[in-house]
Every structure is written in C-alpha cells, then in structure tokens.
Amino acid sequence: MTLPWRVRWMYGLGQLPEGVRTAAFGFFLLFYYNQVLGLSGTLAGAALFIALLFDAVSDPLVGSLTDFTRSRWGRRHPYLYASALPFSLCFLGLFVPPSGLSEAGLFAWLLVFATLTRTTMSFYHVPYLSMGAELSQDYDERTRLAAFRNLFQLAGMFAVLIGGNLLFFSATGQYANGQLNPAAYAPFALSCVPLMLAGVWLTALGTHDQIPKLPSPSAIERPTLIRAVVSDVLTAFRIRAFVAVVGASILFGINQGMVQALHLYLATYFFELADYQVTLLFAGAIAGIVIGTLLSRAFTGLLAEKRRVFVAGSLWYAFWTSIVIILRLLGLLPGNEHPLVAPLYIVCGCISALGLGVAIPMIGSLMADVTDEHERRHGTRQEGIYYSAASLVAKAVGGVGPIIAGLIIDMAGISPGTPPAEVAPEAINRFGWFTGPGVVLFSLLSIACIGFYNITRAQHAETLANLSRRTPDGTVR
C-alpha cells in the first residue's frame, strides 16, 4: 500500500525528538559530565550503561503492553500523547544538576535522570516505531517510511549540533572552547524541550486519522504481563532474521554511539579544530547523512536486497571514518597547524556520513519485514515486541557507545578539563589507536551478524501473499 505524502511526513516527524536526544546524548552529555563537571569518563560511561540495562527490561514490557492495548485511540496513540511531557522534562533534568555535587553525587544524578529519560522515551519511541510497520506492509514503502524517519532524526540532530554550537557554545573571553563553558548547557537543554514536545504530539495528531486502518490487538487470551513478555521475547528469538538484525543493529549502534561520544574529543584534542570548524564538521556530517538517506531507496533497487545495502553503507562508513585517524597515526599526515588537515577531516566526516544515511533506514525496514514473518508463523501482529528491540538499539547509541568512549578517554590519559595544548602526545596517540581501529572492528562485526538475515525480497512477497489468503480464523484459503 502506497501512503499519502501527508502521512509519510507526519509519521516521520515523530523521529525529530529522537534526533534531538541522540545528538545531545551522543555528542554533548559525556563531554559535559567528564570535561566540564569533572566526572571521570569511566564513571560517566558506567552511569549511562547502567541506565541502558533498565531498558533491557522496560522496552520489551512497553512493547508487549502496547501490542495488547485496547482503546478508542488504538494501540499506539495513547502512549504518544501521554509520554511527551515527562520525556522532555526528564531530558532537561540531565543538564541541570545542582551545583556543588561531589563525584558520587554527579554519578547518581546522571544515573537517575538518564534512566528516567530512557524509560519515558520507551513509552513514546516503542509504539511510534511499531506504528511504522503497521502503516504499510509494502516492501519498498517501508523503506520510504524509514527514510522519512531518518530525515527527521537528522533535522533534530541538525538543530542541536548546529544551533547548539552557534547559539550556546561559541567562544567567550573566558572560554576559548565554548563546549567547556558550564553556563551554556542549561539554556541549551531548555531550547531542546519545545522540539521534543512538538515532534511527539504533532506526529500523534497527524496520524490520528489512520487509527481505524491500523491492526487491532489479537483476540487470544493473554497471560500476566511478565509471562507474556517472556513468551513474546522467546518467540521472537526463534526467528533467525530477528536475531540477525538485532545483533547487527546493536553493534552498529554501539559503533555509532562510540564515535558520537568521541567526536568532540577528536575535534578538540586529536585535530585541534576551532569552534567554527567544529560547526562545519557537524554540518558536513548531517549533509552527508541526508544525501545518503535520499539515495537509500535507489540503492535498494540497485542491490535488490536491503541486507546488501546495509553492508555497503557500513563498509563505506567504517573506511571513511577511520582512514584519516589511521593516516595520522602512521605519520602520513602533516601536523594540525597545516591548513589542509582540518578541511580533510571535515570532508572525510561528510563522506563517511553518506554510509550512515544509506545503512540506517535499512535497519527499520528489515525489522518491519520480520514482523510479517512473525504473523505468517504465529497468526498475530506484535510489532511492539520487535520494535522494543529497535528502540533498545537507539538507546545503545547513548549507552554502550559512551561507556566504551569513557574507557578510551581514561585509558588514553586525557584528564578532565585539560586544555588541548597540555595533553601529552602519547595520550593523543593512544586515543587514536583505540578509536580508529575500533570503528572498523565494530563495523565488521555488525556486517557478520547481518549475514545471517534470511528474508529476501522474493520470500517477503510470498509471505504477504500467504497473509492475504488467510481467513479470520488463521487458516489459508
């Protein structure tokens, strides 16, 4: 089924808040708590990782809960309307810790508000992603919806990264590097709240007329919620394609989260970029992802299978992200004072982002096809339990990635608040050796996982034909 353009746009808008959160968590949160507030990189990363462990429980619970919710607003929309305000306020709390907290106090504050932000996000993001698989069963239309999601995620990231750097993190007389200014973070976070509220509520309102067309909960009798969740998760993991796409996307998300968390460190310490060059780096990366997203549909047609498109995008991203770091480590680049070094790093960042733009929409589209395979096997539609895994992947970007980044920072020996000129060259080199090859490693691992995905275009078409012949009692005509 081909969807109207209005529905595509309004559905895609719901990913704007996730773009805002991803950029704030991925690029600023670790740097803020580590370099500005003085919390060690390992402790900051550990707090974010522990918060992620709560998601391993909350996301499947929310997914199963929404799958079997009955209301006049359908299965998904009540949660979208209700979750927007708590999600936005918990996010704000992350960036306004009380002054004078000890390191233990900072750790506790980060842990509590990161957990609250992630949990309230689950009540918006899991039903939102699930709705995407319900709006259309068409193989290519799902790729379009995933591309629209990605474009609005990029819009949210653009607002945070470019707007944040221009409006809040400019250099001052006291802080030559604006990201080190502690007074900038509270107004920065406050400016994100309206974007998050608008994104969730507008997508709920804009897709409200689609509620009668969306699948209703299964009529089968359900056990208690906890038993239902355990049963649903075990059922999902019996589908090989689900295991493959979850494994690949988690590793892909960890890789992306690690790079995001280290971006400001690379820019500040490894390449010593000026503030305006950091803004150009972010702008170039977002432009690259936008172009890659626009090309993703064409690549699906060219390579026939979504799995191949994901592999191609991941390889491209790994090569162009790591090459400039590795060249520096091998002594094949001049020093940072050379006028071409910063432009080269910025251009490579833009080129590498093309691969992200191509690969990211494939994850959601591949997962949507798994939900049809579930219905073919079991006779029920349970997008929520599958997209709780997709939501967990999104949070892995802001959880597992940063703890790896925090360990890299501490093992490299970059102390909190140290000006770039005072960091030892050996620390910079250690930092680079952990980062560049690390990107390649996680990319290859995610590609290895997606190799086990076994739903082809032809098999998906056969599944849809089978579902179209089913009678209300589940038998095939």
Is 423's pLDDT higher than 80?
no
**469 pLDDT above the threshold of 80:** no
Distance CA 468, CA 477 (A): 9
| Locus of tokens 């349970």 | 382
Range 250-261 average pLDDT:
82
Asked whether the predicted pLDDT for residue 364 surpasses 80, the reply is: no
Give the pLDDT of residue 212: 84
pLDDT in tens, 162-197: 888 888 988 777 877 788 888 999 999 999 999 999
Q: Between 275 and 78, name the one with better pLDDT.
A: 78
Q: Where are the domains of the chain?
A: 16-215+224-468
Q: How many CB atoms lie within 10 A of CB 152?
A: 21
pLDDT of residue 135: 81
Q: Which residues pair with residue 476 across a beta bridge? A: 470
Identity of the amino acid at 210: Q
Give the max Cα distance, the chain: 76
136 vs 444 pLDDT, higher one: 444
How far is CA 330 from each of CA 302, 324, 325, 351, 436, rounded to the nearest angstrom? Answer: 37, 10, 9, 21, 12
Residue 114 DSSP SS3: helix
In angstroms, what CA-CA distances link 146 with 254, 416, 459?
Answer: 20, 39, 20
Q: Would you say the pTM of this structure is higher than 0.85?
A: no
Evaluate if residue 222 carries a pLDDT over 60: no
Which comes out higher in pLDDT, residue 208 or 416? 208
pLDDT value for 50: 85
CB 381 within 8 A of CB 375: yes
What's the confidence (pLDDT) of residue 253?
Answer: 82
What is the C-alpha separation between 466 and 470, in angstroms, rounded?
A: 7
What is the CA angle 220-225-230, rounded to 5?
90
Alpha-carbon 351 to chain mean position: 19
Residue position matching structure tokens 């500040």? 268
Inform me whether the pLDDT recorded for 474 exceeds 60: no
Residue 89: strand, helix, or coil:
helix
pLDDT per residue as tens digits for the range 16-71: 999 999 889 878 888 899 888 989 888 888 888 888 777 777 777 787 777 777 88
Q: Which two tokens stand for residue 230?
A: 């355990």
The two structure tokens encoding residue 348: 């490579």
User: In this structure, are residues 446 and 237 in contact, taking their beta carbons and an 8 Å threshold?
Assistant: no
Question: What gap in Å lies between CA 109 and CA 38, rounded to an integer?
Answer: 13
Per-range mean pLDDT, top range of 43-52, 129-138, 231-240:
43-52
How confident is the model over 336-360, as a mean pLDDT? 90
Q: Report the alpha-carbon distance of residue 288 to residue 317 in Å, rounded.
A: 11
Average pLDDT, whole number, for the chain? 83
Q: What is the pLDDT of residues 287-332, one digit of tens each?
A: 898 899 888 878 877 887 888 999 999 999 999 999 999 998 898 9
At residue 24, φ and ψ (nearest 5 deg) are -65, -45
Fold of 16-215+224-468: Growth Hormone; Chain: A; (1.20.1250)
Q: What is the pLDDT of residue 312?
A: 93
Give the whole-angstrom CA distance, residue 150 versus residue 253: 14
Q: Which residue has the tokens 């049963």?
A: 231
Above 70 in pLDDT, residue 382? no
